[in-house]
Amino acid sequence: MNFLLSPEQLEFQTTVQRFLDDLCPATRLHELFDRGEHDPALWHAMCELGLAGIALPEAHGGAGMEMIDLALVAETLGSRAAPGPFLGHALAGLAIAWGGSDAQKARWLPALASGEKLASVALAEEGGWQPEQWGLSGKGGTLSGCKRHVPFAADADLLVVGLADGGLALVERGAEGLSVEVENGVDRTRAMATVGFSATPAERLEGACREVVERLRDAALVLLAADAFGGAARCVEMAVDYAKIREQFGQPIGRFQAVKHQLANMAVEIEPARGLYWYAAHAFDHVPADAARYAALAKAHLADRFLQVARDTVEVHGGIGYTWECDVQIYLKRAMFDFAWMGNPQEQRRRIHL
């Protein structure tokens, strides 16, 4: 029995944390947030650290690690509200690793693992997030239709697109009939776009079946849960730190029992959920019977918790918490992304068998 991170995992998490604190401190974070666009410099630095290919096979230039390792990175990125295309890129790579032919893997994975090429996933449609709700047909080697909320679609070299028949297809940048309309997303650390296809040439991922697509969804849910845990835990830290320095009535507000209890409640909501997202990530690779259930449960639970604790953190900060210049607003918006992307908590719970 050892439900703990290995020394290597802890060390890697610390490395990523320090890297982000150096490269993306609050001032830079606010700059990038205001711009709301892809920042190739920050992303390339992340790729140099190895974040682009963590769970991709070693044979194709990845690090061959597991979902828990990928999730630990997602947690750390969440804790620093790090802007960038990590989520969509990681998912696209996994989809190709699981569903691609040898030729497709050989062609794309090394470039995705190194970060030389940027990829993303196009999943949601007007009908919904879940594969059974997709209507985009891939018959005849071309796509016609629309996908929404595609992370960093404007900058991606490659899109992995979900199809109505339970398959996946690849569409390259500049393909005929491909249009990208940037969305005015609330979370400006993760830019999104609506992607239109009009008889757009697409290449099917040859091995992508229903099972691969469902696994892709579960991977997305685990990574969102991890991101939400990181962001939520950081919110608790920010609220506690602020309550220690902000003085009113001649004393730190954290001495007032009303504030103290609010902070204790926030911590109690978040800290135990670390175990839940860890288990969801662990089950993803090691406990097949639990994988889908715990991915959905973890995403639902953490998305709810993050959103609420981010709201509480605004409240603890008072007026300053309600300003654009306060870091907390960025976390609040990350929480909104984690809440809704890939289907909100109620939607996840509806899918769980009781």
> Which residues form the interface with another protein (CB under 8 A)?
1-5, 68, 240, 243-244, 251-252, 254-255, 257, 260-261, 263-265, 267-268, 271-276, 278-279, 282, 286-287, 294, 297-298, 300-301, 304, 346, 349-350, 352, 354
Q: Is 274 exposed, middle or buried (0-12, 13-18, 19+ CB in 10 A)?
A: middle
CB atoms under 10 Å from CB of 83, counted, come to: 27
Q: Kindly give the interhelix angle for 288-317 and 210-245, rounded to the nearest 10 degrees.
A: 30
CB of 98 to another protein, least distance (A): 22
Question: 173 or 349: whose CB is closer to another protein?
Answer: 349
| Type of residue found at 106 | A
State in angstroms the smallest separation of the CB of 234 from another protein. Answer: 14
The rounded distance, in Å, linking the Cα atoms of 236 and 204 is 44
State which residue, 69 or 155, has the beta carbon closest to another protein: 69
Question: Would you say 184 or 251 has its CB closer to another protein?
Answer: 251
Three-state secondary-structure class, residue 160: strand
CB of 86: closest distance to another protein in angstroms? 22
Min dist. Cβ of residue 250 to another protein (A): 10
> Of 28 and 260, which has the nearer Cβ to another protein?
260
**Nearest Cα to Cα of residue 297 among 346, 237, 239:** 346
Strand, helix or coil at 110?
A: helix
Lookup result for tokens 């992303």: 43
Q: Is residue 164 within 8 Å of 124, Cβ to Cβ?
A: no
In the complex, the smallest distance separating the C-beta of residue 60 from another protein, rounded to whole angstroms, is 25
Q: Of 267 and 336, which CB lies nearer to another protein in the complex structure?
A: 267
- In whole angstroms, how close is the CB of 129 to another protein at the nearest point? 18
Q: Which is nearer to another protein, 156 or 300 (CB)?
A: 300
Nearer to another protein, 3 or 324 (CB): 3
CB of 70 to another protein, least distance (A): 14
Nearest to 297 by CA among 211, 225, 217: 225
- How buried is 2 (Cβ within 10 angstroms: 0-12 exposed, 13-18 middle, 19+ buried)? exposed
Nearer CB in complex with another protein: 193/298: 298
Considering the complex, state which of residue 44 and residue 246 has its C-beta at the smaller distance from another protein: 246
Which residue's CB is nearer to another protein, number 210 or number 255? 255
Is residue 58 within 8 Å of residue 64, measured between CB atoms?
yes
CA-to-CA distance for 174 and 177, rounded, in angstroms?
A: 8
| Residue 235 near residue 309, CB atoms below 8 Å | yes
Residues 6+ apart with CB under 8 A from 209: 99, 166, 167
User: 99: which 2 tokens?
Assistant: 């569903």
H or E element in which residue 189 lies: none
Q: How far is the CB of 258 from another protein (least distance, A)?
A: 11
**CB of residue 8 to another protein, shortest distance in Å:** 12
In the structure encoding, which two tokens stand for residue 283, read together?
A: 């089950």
Q: Tell me the CA distances in angstroms from 280 to 37, 188, 230, 239, 324, one per residue in order.
A: 31, 27, 15, 27, 34
What does the block give as tokens for 214? 């469902």
CB of 179 to another protein, least distance (A): 38
